Amino acid sequence: MDKKIGLIFLLTVLVATRPAQAQVSVWQESHRGAIYVSLGNNIYSEPTSTVHVYQQLLNNSYDLVNAKGSSSSTGGGPNVANNLNINVGYFFNYNQTWAIEAVYNPFSYYIADNQHLTLKGAYNGVQVDTNIIYSSQSGSHYFINSGSTLLQFNLVRRVPVYRNKIRNISVDLYGKAGVGPVFVHADNATYKTESASVFSTSAGWDADVSAGVKVTVLRHYFVEVLKKYTLVKLTGVPMYEGVATQQFALNSINVNLGVFLPTTKFNPLFRKGFKRKRGLPNGPEPRGDLTPEGADPMQQVENY
């Protein structure tokens, strides 16, 4: 009898001390996260803006009123390659509905050639208010060339709308807002007094807000369409013996293609689903608690 009791005790100890199988309950996850990278294109309207030119040594402080901007120095359509943007983001909260995002958004701005403008202010020390033809033939141009950039840091809100049972298609609404610095590659001239082509890292700042929809397939690949408004305030565009300032709004449509990846091993956003007659209801937000059909959804799930 003592031997049997001893054997039972030994087996009990061995069972109690054996390595446990890896089990994870999504409700016990202390952290979740996901990153995304996307490449897109901006299709934006050409803004009208008043450009203020300040050249102290030349006694100039005047406005070029309501100058029509163009995305091309020749007045043609935008160069698609010059309007590509790169977006990198990180979802940081437990439900993965809030993210921070950095956006590299190149742009260009040219005062369209051969347009009638009002020149108003001090020119060569004399107060003027007159109409002119602003043209490269007369020795004037205002180029913010390709290589200029709107760098933006956004706070992102994701609102889940739909996710099918097998988790291979999902739809989310997105809202974004942020601010950032503006870098310009300027090449300007005022009546045959031309400044060298320079790159400025302190030209001004921008603020943006956007909203749209994102469709994700196979949990990792997405297309995103956004309506975006960007306010650009330039405070130090290099000019000959001075600077130019201006403010304008870019109204654009962004189409982005990207990839979405988890930063934690057990992330319900990236778990495959399956069709089932019973079990958890199908909803827009994945709960991560898929279990074999008919099982208790609150139990721990092995082999997550």
User: pTM for the whole thing?
Assistant: 0.76
Within-domain flag for 169: yes
Number of structural domains found in the chain: 1
Which CATH number fits the domain that encloses residue 175? 2.40.160.20
Distance of alpha carbon 104 from alpha carbon 149, whole angstroms: 7
Residue whose token pair is 């107060």: 127
Neighbours of 14 (CB within 10 A): 9
Within-domain flag for 109: yes
Comparing CA positions, the residue from 302, 261, 249 lying closest to residue 48 is 249
Within-domain flag for 124: yes
For residue 171, what are the domain limits?
33-268
Buried b vs exposed e over 223-251: b needs ≥16 C-beta within 10 Å? ebebebebebebebbbbbebbbbbebbbe
The C-alpha torsion from 22 through 27 and 33 to 39, rounded to 10°, is 100
Within-domain flag for 117: yes
Within-domain flag for 16: no
* pLDDT for position 176: 97
* pLDDT for position 302: 35
* pLDDT for position 164: 85
Structure tokens at 6: 């001893």
pLDDT in tens, the chain (304 residues): 555 555 555 555 454 445 444 444 444 456 788 999 999 987 777 788 999 999 888 889 999 998 888 776 665 555 666 678 999 999 998 888 999 999 999 888 888 888 889 999 998 888 999 998 888 888 888 888 888 899 999 999 999 998 888 888 999 999 999 999 999 998 888 776 766 678 888 889 999 999 999 999 999 999 999 999 999 999 989 888 889 999 999 888 999 999 999 998 878 888 877 665 554 444 555 544 444 444 444 443 333 3
Within-domain flag for 18: no
Within-domain flag for 289: no
Within-domain flag for 14: no
Distance of alpha carbon 2 from alpha carbon 191, whole angstroms: 110
